[in-house]
């Protein structure tokens, strides 16, 4: 009897490979260790540019990306920039939207939950008194971020919400991450 190979894909995620990945990391937790990277160069004023290419998993380098992703950041004129890219705080909102969506899509796939559409709108409140150093009482970052999803799926709202909670970016934004800064003078 010949063996048919059927690839099970839910929400565009290969659930067979996801199951294999979960099993592999369960058996050897070291396989779960990733290091992600970015290189950034200041151009002028508020304009700077990141290139993102290599990363490692379990100590192994992944060089599958032949060209880097290039990301420009700038500020709008009202914040003294030239608007050649989204600003750093807008990139945080994009990272959070992308992270919550990916978490929902993957964890739904693992549970056999089909999604038809997922859209979100995010708002973040920032008071530049903090950035300008005008008040010690005003925090420098977002005071609050509100995320509003519109989702087509048969699954109940509570479950969709739970599946998003696995998001690494939600953890990064909601909880403290240690950041070390080293400066070499050239």
Residue with tokens 């010690």: 136
Among 1, 4, 6, 80, binds a second copy (CB under 8 A): 80
Among 4, 6, 136, 176, binds a second copy (CB under 8 A): 176
Pattern 137-166, a second copy, x by CB under 8 A: -xxxxxxxxxxxxxxxx---x--xx--x-x
What is the total residue count of the chain?
Answer: 186
| Residue 143 DSSP SS3 | coil
Nearer to a second copy among residue 3 and residue 71 (C-beta): 71
108 is a site residue for a second copy (CB under 8 A): no
Rounded to the nearest 10 degrees, the angle between the axes of helix 88-110 and helix 157-164 is 120
Give least dist CB 3 to a second copy, A.
23
Instruction: Please tell me the distance from the alpha carbon of residue 157 to that of residue 115, in angstroms, as a whole number.
Output: 12
8 is a site residue for a second copy (CB under 8 A): no
136 is a site residue for a second copy (CB under 8 A): no
Give least dist CB 100 to a second copy, A.
7
Q: What sign for the dihedral angle of Cα 108, 113, 114, 117?
A: negative
Instruction: Please tell me the distance from the alpha carbon of residue 112 to that of residue 106, in angstroms, as a whole number.
Output: 10
Q: Which residues pair with 71 in a beta bridge?
A: 50
Nearer to a second copy among residue 112 and residue 171 (C-beta): 171
Instruction: Please tell me the distance from the alpha carbon of residue 120 to that of residue 101, in angstroms, as a whole number.
Output: 8
135 is a site residue for a second copy (CB under 8 A): yes
What are 148's two structure tokens? 């509003």
Question: Which residues inside 24-53 make contact with a second copy, applying CB under 8 A?
Answer: 25-26, 29, 32-42, 44-48, 50, 52
111 is a site residue for a second copy (CB under 8 A): no
């Amino acid at each position: 009897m010949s063996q048919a190979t059927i690839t099970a894909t839910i929400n565009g995620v290969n659930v067979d490979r996801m199951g294999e990945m979960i099993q592999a990391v369960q058996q050897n937790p070291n396989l779960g260790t990733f290091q992600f990277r970015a290189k950034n160069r200041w151009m002028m004023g508020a304009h700077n540019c990141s290139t993102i290419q290599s990363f490692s998993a379990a100590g192994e380098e992944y060089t599958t990306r032949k060209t880097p992703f290039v990301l420009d950041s700038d500020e709008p004129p009202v914040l003294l920039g030239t608007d050649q890219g989204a600003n750093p705080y807008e990139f945080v909102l994009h990272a959070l939207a992308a992270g919550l969506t990916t978490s929902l899509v993957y964890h739904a796939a693992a549970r056999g939950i089909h999604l038809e559409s997922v859209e979100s709108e995010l708002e973040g409140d920032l008071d530049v008194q903090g950035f300008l150093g005008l008040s010690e009482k005003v925090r420098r970052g977002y005071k609050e971020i509100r995320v509003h999803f519109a989702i087509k799926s048969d699954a109940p709202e509570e479950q969709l919400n739970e599946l998003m909670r696995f998001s690494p970016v939600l953890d990064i934004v909601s909880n403290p991450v240690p950041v070390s800064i080293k400066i070499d003078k050239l």
